[in-house]
Amino acid sequence: MNAVVDLPAQSKLPRVKTTIFAVMSALANHHGALNLSQGFPDFSCPQPLMDAATRAMQAGHNQYAPMTGIPALREQIAAKVQALYGATVDADSDITVTSGAIEALFVAIQASVRPGDEVIVFDPAYDSYEPAVELAGGRCVHLSLNAPDYRIDFNQLESAINPRTRLIILNSPHNPSGAVFSAEDLDRLESLLADSPVLLLGDEVYEHIVFDGQHHQSLLRRPALAERSFVVSSFGKTYHTTGWKVGYCIAPAGLSAEFRKVHQYVTFSVPTPFQHAIAHFMANSDFHRELPAFYQAKRDRFRAALDGSRWQLLPCAGTYFQLLGYQAIDDRPDTEMAEWLTTEVGVAAIPVSVFNADGRDERILRFCFAKGNDTLDQAAAKIASL
């Protein structure tokens, strides 16, 4: 090949491979394994939501939506965050509907990170953050969250912040660990950032999946944090519609204006009928309030089936992921263990080391329990005897 057009050799993302979610789902499908790897429900979304989408198409909502999202949906989002987090956000200037959370994360990073900027991320970190930072010309500074409770070490965070720090990416409830922020975490963050120009990007896609009577600690609860934050969420997780790819970003008007400069050239707008359907559903249901009990029952069922096995059950306070340590079962690296489980045992999972920039491998796998009870029981039965 002509060297001038040898793009792989000139890659802007030389270390990036196909995302583990695509790799493991493909492997699971190829081997007919129960797929507890990529995070998506294997059950249907609510019938009234599907009906609303069909009605929206039939009513002619099939052309471009407004670039920022349809007003009815933005108004529902504003009402929701007011009711849940006491946050007053302007539906017109502060909310942008995006193609899933992943677009919102990418756009917030492109809109805020400049060449040479540092962005603090906590490993294990969701895999889309670092490539987006690198494309913006920034550099990730990786801090660790440690098993079993994966809490932020605020002293470590304080020493990592310096004049080059532009953005801190926070994810609660946390994928893959299932850890959630406490109110004290927000207190620490507030005092740490009191006089600092640092921006925050809050990945809160599992905001409605928090267990054991706890409440989601959104950055939106604290005006002093919200004024410097892009807060991102996703209807995929809340309404069992990961394939619809509808999410949003809430940020103060000045930050949202910059966000929209990028969003308009990434996707411009998000499928119109889905926006109408979600706006209608939000206005007519309290579905999100039922989610914690629904997923907590699945978490408990999956954990109970593995109780007494050689798997180490790590705590799970939120999300639909359960971490399982296999130090007592096998010593192979987690990527090999995940592949072996998929191909030989028939259960696919995600190796956690891929979320660690330094490849740290604590022999822990992530299992998604957003699955029908039969699937969960079968998967647990297959792995419990190892």
Binding site for ligand PMP (CB under 6 A): 39, 100-102, 126, 171, 175, 203, 205, 234, 236, 242, 247
Q: Please say which residue, 65 or 345, places its beta carbon nearer to ligand PMP.
A: 65
In the complex, minimum distance from the CB of residue 1 to ligand PMP, in angstroms, rounded to a whole number: 34
Strand spans (E) along 172-315? 199-203, 229-234, 247-250, 312-313
For the chain, the C-alpha Rg in angstroms (whole number) is 21
| Residue of this chain nearest to ligand PMP (CB atom) | 100
Residue among 181 and 355 whose Cβ is closer to ligand GLN: 355
C-beta of 172: minimal distance to ligand PMP in Å? 10
Whichever of 38 and 76 has its CB closer to ligand GLN, that residue is: 38
Residue 229 contact, options ligand PMP, ligand GLN, none, Cβ 5-8 Å cut-off depending on partner type? none
Instruction: Choose from ligand GLN, ligand PMP, none: what does 38 bind? Cβ within 5-8 Å by kind.
Output: ligand GLN
Q: Which pairs from 31-35 meet CB under 8 Å and 24+ separation?
A: 31/342, 31/343, 31/346, 32/346, 33/341, 33/342, 33/343, 33/345, 33/346, 33/347, 33/348, 34/346, 34/347, 34/348, 34/371, 34/375, 34/378, 34/379, 34/382, 35/348
Q: Which is nearer to ligand PMP, 102 or 365 (CB)?
A: 102
Give yes or no for residue 238 binding ligand GLN (CB under 6 A). Answer: no
Rounded to an integer, what distance in angstroms lies between the CA atom of residue 2 and that of residue 21?
33
Which residue in the set 39, 124, 173, 202 belongs to the binding site for ligand GLN (CB under 6 A)? 39
- In the structure encoding, which two tokens stand for residue 383, read together? 């792995």
Helix 287-306 crosses helix 373-384 at what angle (to 10 degrees)? Answer: 20
Q: Is the CB of 103 or the CB of 345 nearer to ligand PMP?
A: 103
120 and 157 Cβ atoms separated by less than 8 Å: yes
Rounded to a whole number of angstroms, the minimum distance from the CB of residue 348 to ligand GLN is 11
248 or 326, CB closer to ligand PMP? Answer: 248
Q: Are strands 229-234 and 199-203 parallel, antiparallel or unpaired?
A: parallel
Q: Name which of 38 and 96 has its Cβ closer to ligand GLN.
A: 38
Decide: residue 385, CB within 10 A, 0-12 exposed, 13-18 middle, 19+ buried: exposed
* Residue 234 binds which entry of ligand PMP, ligand GLN, none, CB below 5-8 Å type-dependent: ligand PMP
The site partner of 203 among ligand GLN, ligand PMP, none (C-beta below 5 to 8 Å per kind) is: ligand PMP
Using rule CB under 6 A, residue 175 touches ligand GLN: yes
Q: Are 338 and 365 in contact (CB under 8 A)?
A: yes
Question: Which residues lie across from 354 on neighbouring strands?
Answer: none
Structure token pair of residue 325: 């340590």
Helix count and strand count (H, E) for the chain: 14, 13
Measure CA 202 to chain center: 10
The reply on whether position 154 binds ligand GLN by CB under 6 A is no
Using CB under 6 A, which of 21, 153, 192, 303 touches ligand GLN? 21
Binding partner of residue 171 among ligand PMP, ligand GLN, none, CB cut-off 5 to 8 Å per kind: ligand PMP
Peptide bond into 71 cis (omega under 30): no
Listed residue (171, 249, 240) closest to 207, CA to CA: 171
* Least Cβ distance, residue 126 to ligand PMP (angstroms): 4
Residue 236 interacts with, from ligand GLN, ligand PMP, none (CB under 5-8 Å by kind) = ligand PMP
> Which one among 35, 38, 229, 238 touches ligand GLN, defined by CB under 6 A?
38
Which among 317, 323, 302, 264 is positioned nearest to 382, based on CA atoms? 302
Q: Which residues bind ligand GLN (CB under 6 A)?
A: 21, 38-39, 102, 175
